[in-house]
Amino acid sequence: MDYVKLSKEISYALRHAPWEYELEIDEDGFVLIEQLLSEINLSNEYGKKITKDDLLYINSNSEKKRWEIVDDKIRALYGHSFPFKIRKVTGTPPDILYHGTSHKAINDILNKGLLPMSRQYVHMSTTVDMAITVGKRRDNNPIILKINARKAFADGLKFYVGNEYVWLCDFVPPKYIEIVEIQ
Ligand code: HQG
């Protein structure tokens, strides 16, 4: 059973293309597990019928908590790109957040700020290590940015809760961003 492949397919459906799976998605990003599974199981791609237990297994064994499963519903906690912007809960962020990015993007980010690009929100990490992991998806030697979330929040910027390690913003202006020198 290829759980990595299944995990990617579920995240793809919940974050990027609910319509491809004929999912009704509510404004908080939730869909009915039954609806999702009946679409996933149409293809028989995984050699067995996928059940809610498979989703619970993936979510509890992943180092990143990508989804939230509540009763008969599931949603992605971050990463969305479809045009209808889902409602996220605002919160008080940690004083400092981090963002791992590429050498290619750094000048634009320092000039224009962090933009959501193809996603609904800008994603930030609570730890340098996680920001390094995120940044390595785009650059072998990523640049790590430190976000002065305390100041930005005090100035009225909204922060939204992703999960324990991920915070979201609509946009982060350059004045709250500085490069972290990694030893
Ligand atoms: C960059 C994955 C130019 C930004 C990850 C990033 C994360 C700019 C890229 C989550 C820019 C967007 C999200 C600007 C930002 N000019 N480039 N003004 N502002 N950028 O993938 O944060 O494993 O949409 O630095 O691990 O990299 O899938 O966002 O390089 O948690 O669960 O534009 O997705 O999670 O890239 O990653 P992304 P991200 P999963």
Q: Where in the chain is the domain with CATH 3.20.170.30?
A: 90-182
CATH 3.90.1530.30 for domain 3-76, yes or no, is no
Class of domain 90-182: alpha beta
The predicted-structure confidence for 119-142, as pLDDT tens digits, reads as follows 999 999 999 999 999 999 999 999
**Could you tell me how many helices (H) and strands (E) the chain has, helices first?**
6, 9
| Residue 182: pLDDT over 80 | no
Q: Where in the chain is the domain with CATH 1.10.10.970?
A: 3-76
**Hey, is 150 helix, strand or coil?**
helix
**Are 162 and 168 spatial neighbours (Cβ–Cβ below 8 Å)?**
yes
Strand order in the sheet with 31-32: 31-32, 73-76, 67-70
**pTM for this structure?**
0.94
- What's the confidence (pLDDT) of residue 183? 58
Atom 34 in ligand 1: which residue has the minimum CA distance?
Answer: 79
Atom 5 in ligand 1: which residue has the minimum CA distance?
Answer: 134
Look at residues 1, 3, 38 and name the one whose alpha carbon lies nearest to residue 21.
Answer: 38
With the most atoms of ligand 1 within 8 angstroms of its CB, the residue from 64, 120, 121, 123 to mutate is: 123
